[in-house]
Amino acid sequence: MAIRTPSIRIVSGVFLVLSLASSLSAYTENKGSHKVCFNGYCFRVELAITESEREKGLMFRDHLALNNGMLFVYKHENIYPFWMKNTKIPLDMIWINGQRQVVFIEENVSPCGSDECVPVYPDKRAKYVLEINSGSARKIGLKPGDKLSFYNIPQLF
């Protein structure tokens, strides 16, 4: 009777699953220590990676601490419209491509009124969307074309 060894494909698959599990574990353990920086200004960000995290975003929060934000992470670059349904604080929204370059900014987005919630449609494809306190993008001089640095943000896709 011959002993069979696992194929390289199976071993590679197991390695990939373990690597992803390790990345997600590191993400969970270090939640809150993720940063997005530009010219010495850094924002501590929460990550919205899953569909449910992205759907909830910053809804129902009364306050966003100074220099904090939320980074929405997508698998692929695409046009991602955002709206402020159930969001209580005004925000700056920054769309960022896969090369971590700012492609679109919408400043001072106000919470929706009770009647209507109009989405913001960027005109460029992005892989990430950063939400920070209103006025922060202007304060640090952020503009389309600027490159951002990410720290402790896993490359899941």
Q: How do residues 58-84 score in pLDDT, each as one tens digit?
A: 999 999 999 999 999 999 999 999 988
Domain locations in the chain as residue ranges: 32-151
Read off the pLDDT of each residue in 13-34 and give the average, rounded to a whole number. Answer: 44
Distances (CA, A) of 39 to 8, 52, 141: 45, 32, 9
Q: Where are the beta strands (DSSP E) in the chain?
A: 34-38, 41-48, 68-78, 91-96, 102-109, 126-133, 149-151
pLDDT at residue 115 greater than cutoff 50: yes
Instruction: Give the pLDDT band of residue 114 (cuts 50, 70, 90).
Output: low
Put simply, whether the predicted model's pTM sits higher than 0.85 gets the answer no
Superfamily of domain 32-151: Protein of unknown function DUF192 (2.60.120.1140)
Q: Contact at 8 Å (CB) between 122 and 79?
A: yes
